Amino acid sequence: MVTADTKEPLSVVMKQSIFLSYSAAEYLIKKYHLTKADKDKIDASITDLKVKKAVYEILGIE
């Protein structure tokens, strides 16, 4: 299921409202305009494993 406002999976939207790591990940993605192509930059810059995992999930990086 996808939300109408953001076109993101509903599970990600729910996690953002509950877990701090998803909120931080969303902030970083928007601030630095991160995409799937920025995987190397994400690996080098984000040291918090929970935030990194959330960024990967939101961007769909495996």
In a domain, 2, yes or no: no
In a domain, 5, yes or no: no
Helix (H, G, I), strand (E, B) or coil at 9: strand
Alpha-carbon distance 28 to 46, whole Å? 10
| Token pair belonging to 22 | 């998803």
Alpha-carbon distance 61 to 53, whole Å? 9
Look up the pTM and report it.
0.70
In a domain, 25, yes or no: yes
Q: Mutual orientation of helices 49-59 and 10-18 as an angle, nearest 10°?
A: 150
Domain ranges, residue 47: 10-59
Q: How many domains does the chain have?
A: 1
**Higher-confidence position of 1 and 14:** 14
**Higher-confidence position of 9 and 29:** 29
Q: Give the residue-averaged pLDDT of 21-27.
A: 87
In a domain, 1, yes or no: no
In a domain, 3, yes or no: no
Cα radius of gyration (the chain): 11
